[in-house]
Amino acid sequence: MFPSHLMIRPSSQRHARPRAARRSRAAEAPVLIRAASAADAGAIDRLAVLDDRTLPPGERLVGELSGRVVAAVDVASGRSIADPFVPTTGVLELLGVRAAQVRR
């Protein structure tokens, strides 16, 4: 069976240039993928407002960066929402992979 959450820590970039290192700080933050709970309703509502989209009711997963929910996905439909002010491409990819695993 699959674990209920997934923690990914990106590898460090030892030889990155200073400017590139500053831009990639968000990309180096630990990502936590987990099942959404009732306590996440406010964070998901905030994302829906920021992204100007909503998720259908049902089972959801959330993606956290440094302890803050920055993206969510509906497991059944695969529809997602994310904070447009945070680099979330990688988080959304991980949410999609995990949602596909949960659907099986």
* Fold (topology level) of 23-103: Aminopeptidase (3.40.630)
**Bridge-partner residues for 31, per DSSP?**
8, 65
User: Residue 22 region, left (φ>0) first, then alpha (ψ -120 to 50), else beta?
Assistant: alpha
Supply the pLDDT for residue 73: 98
pTM of this structure: 0.75
Q: 41 and 47 in contact (C-beta within 8 Å)?
A: no
pLDDT for residue 18 is more than 60: no
pLDDT band at 23 (very low <50, low <70, confident <90, very high): very low
